[in-house]
Amino acid sequence: MSSSGEAMPFGCLTIGEKKDYNSPSDVTDKYDLGQVVKSEEFCEIFRAKDKNTMKMYTCKKFLKKDGRKVRKAAKNEILILKMVKHPNILQLVDVYETKKEYFLFLELATGREVFDWILDQGYYSERDTSNVVRQVLEAVAYLHSLHIVHRNLKLENLVYYNRLKHSKIVISDFHLAKLENGLIKDPCGTPEYLAPEVVGRQRYGRPVDCWATGVIMYILLSGNPPFYDETDDDDYENHDKNLFRKILAGDYEFDSPYWDEISDSAKSLVARLMEVDQDQRLTAQEAINHEWISGGAASDKNIKENVCAQIEKNFARAKWKKAVRVTTIMKRLRAPEQSEAKPAGPATDTATAPATDPATGPPSLEGASAVEPPANAGEGGGVTDPAQEAQAATGGPQQPNPDPQGEEPITSCNGEASAALHTPTGDGGEQG
């Protein structure tokens, strides 16, 4: 039985208890489901209309027959979203569980991605960026207060709630989010946003979200990613080695001319969020208290021309990252762990490439996708650990491999063996 409204009791599903299944007609009696607008790794996304209120929502449908990993992903997303209620997070509105499916109904965000908004502005300043980053930090601080790590913060997951002039920013996509019950060890996320402790295969937690917010802020102020490599786009292996090496070393610059007009206060906050040592990194709440966010230190100088020029330059070559490259990155990142674990049969990598919204154009930032690492094994010798390579190159200490006796079986971010590569087949673009 589904429940909705302010209290959001979600009586239809209590994980771990005996379930009273909904019938499919319970869903269709209340909602009109439209065409599939996007296919993701674990689910299909629809637009849905409440027949009583005529209000539009996003519907995510998970098919149980698609495997245990899909069922676990659905339960994880429900568990996390039931816990949260914040103005900058897309809210879960309704949940139904039938014998064959999970249906999640969420608020529908109809606004544009942040980059598209910037390109449409006649005037864009640090203050505009500060307003975006503040909203992200407030949502992150709220999640962290609940011991939830998002693990996939990136520009593609930030969207304006609607198309009104002063629309709020909302964060979407919680399928990689995780409750922090002790430090986390399985690497996942989007490569260009990975924190050093993830690349270095250390245990990690909430600070990875603060690092990713620093990456977002860097891009919004300059139009450039902080970590990039000029290697031939087709030379994935060397490109990835260099990318990881730079992330581990914190090797980025406030390079001229892109940062010449940016305030010292802004640079200070980026540097504090992108501190390589996670213990020294600002927390989300500390970042909110920084003068550039809360103290009026953000400049009102128009920086649109420089930022937009770099956005357009970088996005012209944005296709270099898509699913093949992402798969390669995470395969290499996990290779040492795989060699320690007892093989359990071949497994394939998981990557979900963002779909293109006809209303907003190509997906933002480099086309890189959220990734879940491969499951146990089967990747043959000869694949080296980028963390070890990078540290050898920079003279830093080599990260110790986890003790195989003390590790759990290698799993994906949702606790499941990774699925085959999925590329969206729809052309939709609603965030959910």
Residues 278 and 303 in one domain: yes
pLDDT-derived band at 233 (thresholds 50, 70, 90) equals low
Confidence at residue 332, expressed as pLDDT on a 0 to 100 scale: 57
- Whole-angstrom Cα distance, residue 128 to residue 145? 26
Average pLDDT over every residue of 51-68: 95
pLDDT exceeds 60 at position 290: yes
What span, in angstroms and rounded, lies between the C-alpha atoms of 331 and 410?
13
**Residue 239, amino acid:** H
> Lowest-pLDDT range, 258-262, 306-310, 325-329, 334-338?
325-329
For residues 95 and 91, give the distance between their C-alpha atoms in angstroms, rounded to a whole number: 12
Q: Are residues 150 and 206 in the same domain?
A: yes
Give the separation between CA 219 and CA 295, rounded to whole angstroms: 22
DSSP state for residue 181 in the 8-state scheme:
S
Using CA atoms, how far apart are residues 285 and 145, in angstroms rounded to an integer?
10
pLDDT at 421: 26
pLDDT tens digit string along 105-132?
Answer: 999 999 988 888 888 888 999 999 999 9
Q: Contacts from 9-13 at CB under 8 Å and sequence distance 24+?
A: 10/78, 10/82, 10/92, 10/95, 12/95, 12/96, 12/97, 13/78, 13/95, 13/97, 13/102
Residues 207, 310: one domain? yes
Q: Looking at the domain assignment, is residue 145 inside a domain? A: yes
Which of 80, 107, 134 represents a domain boundary (last residue)?
107
- Neighbouring C-beta atoms of residue 182, cutoff 10 Å: 8
The highest-confidence range among 157-166, 311-320, 398-407, by mean pLDDT, is 157-166
366 within a domain of the structure (yes/no): yes
Domain termination residue (choose one: 107, 135, 169): 107
Answer yes or no: do 308 and 249 share one domain. yes
- Whether 347 is in a domain gets the answer yes
Mean pLDDT of the chain: 77
Confidence category of residue 330, pLDDT binned at 50, 70, 90: low
Using DSSP, state whether 184 is helix, strand or coil: strand
Do 266 and 203 have their domain in common? Answer: yes
Which of the two residues, 36 and 12, has the higher pLDDT score? Answer: 36
151 and 100 both lie in a single domain: no
pLDDT band at 429 (very low <50, low <70, confident <90, very high): very low
Does residue 12 fall inside a structural domain?
A: no
Inside any domain, residue 403 = no
Same domain for 204 and 307?
yes
**For residue 365, pLDDT beyond 60:** no
**Length of the chain as a residue count:** 432
Answer yes or no: do 139 and 273 share one domain.
yes
Do 359 and 220 fall within a single domain? Answer: yes
Give yes or no for a contact between 335 and 383, defined as CB atoms under 8 angstroms apart.
yes
| pLDDT tens track for 84-107 | 999 999 999 999 999 999 999 999
Count structural domains, the chain: 2
pLDDT the model gives residue 172: 86
- So what's the pLDDT on residue 344? 40
Give the C-alpha separation, 197 to 204, whole Å.
6
Q: Note whether 129 and 100 are same-domain residues.
A: no
Question: Apex CA 68: angle with CA 67 and CA 69, to 5°?
Answer: 95
Mean pLDDT of 266-292: 97
Residue 151 near residue 209, CB atoms below 8 Å: yes
Q: Residues 86, 202: one domain?
A: no
- Residue 237 vs residue 418, higher pLDDT: 237
In one-letter notation, the amino acid at residue 267 is K
The interaxial angle of helices 323-340 and 386-394, nearest 10 deg, is 90
What average pLDDT score do residues 43-69 get?
95
Residue 378, domain member (yes or no): yes
Give the largest CA-CA distance in the chain. Answer: 64
Query: What is the DSSP track for 211-268?
Result: HHHHHHHHHHHHSS-SS---S-TT-HHHHHHHHHHHHHHT-----TTTTTTS-HHHHH
pLDDT of residue 173: 86
Question: What is the mean pLDDT of the segment spanning 227-249?
Answer: 77
d(CA 36, CA 44): 7
Residue 337 in domain: yes
**Is residue 415 one of the residues assigned to a domain?**
no
Cβ(352)–Cβ(369) below 8 Å: yes
Cα dihedral across residues 300, 302, 306, 309: positive or negative: positive
Q: What CATH code is carried by the domain that includes residue 332?
A: 1.10.510.10
Of the candidates 250, 325, 290, the residue with the CA atom closest to the CA atom of residue 137: 290
In this structure, the answer to whether residues 92 and 198 fall within a common structural domain is no
CATH at 68: 3.30.200.20
Paired strand residues for 361: 357
CA distance 277 to 200: 12
Domain that residue 257 falls in: 114-394
* Full-model pTM: 0.73
Domain boundary among 107, 133, 150: 107
